[in-house]
Amino acid sequence: MSYILETENLTKRYGKKNALDNVSVHIEKGAIYGLVGRNGAGKTTLMKIVGGLANSTEGTYSLFGKKQNEIGNEAKKVGLLIEDPGLLPDLSGIDNLWFKCIALGLKDKDEPARLMDLVGLGDVHKVHTKKYSFGMKQRLGLALALVGNPELVILDEPINGFDPQGIKSVREMILKKHNEGTTFIISSHILGELSKIATHYGFINYGKLIEESTAKELVEKCKSKIELVPSDVPKACTVLDKLGFKEYKVLENGMINIFEQIDRTGDITNALAKENIATIEITKKYESLEDYYVKLVDGKEEENK
């Protein structure tokens, strides 16, 4: 399979500490790749290296099928919003965008206004950016990342500081550009929001890539379950066996976790009642992306103890 971006054992060392440790990610064209990790995990470092803003200590990467030292003008196909958008405070949003257009050799003078409208800044075209709120600066940073209609857009915490309405508008903008063929790499602490748009995920912890997964694979891994507390656990297990349940686990606290056919809670309670087994508690639980990430990271930390 060919990838729009592929890294090979990328390592970034500061003194004796590895901010990145042999990271190899694989990002398909047309993906929305969610980069997940806690503060200091290495997400921003990875984005800076593949965005051309920092050098790796070891390892390499390929972009648009070209090796790191062969990318050249292909770098213009990448849009970035990493940390501070670097605005010129005494210029308007329109002028900030126009300077970016000039830097990329673009001559369409309507491009800045289109992008301002796209990110929801259509009513402040001429306002100097020093008067912008934090959220407005973030929106303009998104617009700057989209100048020239890049094929790959790298966004580091793009919804940081937005209210719910702002988050929704950014999500819709990303999906609109994605439907037009743009590939995204997005890091976000708001995992519930990321799960609404991501097609692929990379989980990073302490500089190491601990898992890559498609959204479909992740749905299967984030198993939903029934939590059942019966009055008689051994007899309840016999009932579950008769009902055809095979994927369940008995916990020490007397709870039974059932990982299949979670729509059959009624069948379970009825069958238990016929055997004079009381259902003390029965609940459906759905594991979120955040739950899965915490479990994944905690598991890796246990391995390293």
- Kindly report the CATH number assigned to the domain that includes residue 38: 3.40.50.300
Q: Are residues 214 and 229 in the same domain?
A: no
Confidence at residue 302, expressed as pLDDT on a 0 to 100 scale: 46
Q: Are residues 273 and 171 in the same domain?
A: no
Confidence at residue 300, expressed as pLDDT on a 0 to 100 scale: 59
Confidence at residue 164, expressed as pLDDT on a 0 to 100 scale: 86
Task: Please list the rounded mean pLDDT of every run of 10 residues in the chain (305 residues).
Answer: 90 92 95 92 94 94 91 90 90 94 90 92 91 91 94 92 86 93 91 90 93 88 87 96 93 91 93 96 85 76 48
Strands, E, within the chain: which ranges?
5-14, 17-23, 26-27, 32-36, 58-63, 66-67, 78-81, 152-156, 183-187, 200-205, 208-214, 225-230, 248-250, 256-258, 279-285
Confidence at residue 24, expressed as pLDDT on a 0 to 100 scale: 96
0.75 surpassed by pTM: yes
Confidence at residue 36, expressed as pLDDT on a 0 to 100 scale: 92
* Residue 305 in domain: no
Confidence at residue 1, expressed as pLDDT on a 0 to 100 scale: 62
Report the number of distinct structural domains present in the chain: 2
Q: Are residues 145 and 16 in the same domain?
A: yes
Residues in Cβ contact with 278 at an 8 Å cutoff, skipping those fewer than 6 apart: 230, 231, 272
Q: Are residues 249 and 157 in the same domain?
A: no
Q: Are residues 193 and 48 in the same domain?
A: yes
Q: How far apart are CA 234 and CA 230, in angstroms?
A: 9
Confidence at residue 299, expressed as pLDDT on a 0 to 100 scale: 57
Helix or strand (DSSP H, E) at 291: helix 289-303
Q: Are residues 41 and 70 in the same domain?
A: yes
Confidence at residue 93, expressed as pLDDT on a 0 to 100 scale: 94
Q: How far apart are CA 256 and CA 263, in angstroms?
A: 16
* Residue 29 in domain: yes
Instruction: Find, among 218, 236, 229, 223, the residue nearest to 272 by Cα.
Output: 236
Q: Are residues 103 and 123 in the same domain?
A: yes
* Residue 133 in domain: yes
- Show which of 191, 219, 247 is a domain's final residue: 219
Q: Are residues 178 and 55 in the same domain?
A: yes
* Residue 271 in domain: yes
* Residue 113 in domain: yes
User: Concatenated DSSP letters for 118-173?
Assistant: HTT-TT-TTSBGGG--HHHHHHHHHHHHTTT--SEEEEESTTTT--HHHHHHHHHH
* Residue 239 in domain: yes
* Residue 166 in domain: yes
Q: Are residues 249 and 235 in the same domain?
A: yes
CATH number at residue 263: 3.30.70.100
Domain that holds residue 244: 223-285
Q: How far apart are CA 70 and CA 97, in angstroms?
A: 28
Q: Are residues 53 and 134 in the same domain?
A: yes
Instruction: Find, among 69, 88, 195, the residue nearest to 131 by Cα.
Output: 88
* Residue 295 in domain: no
Q: Are residues 73 and 17 in the same domain?
A: yes
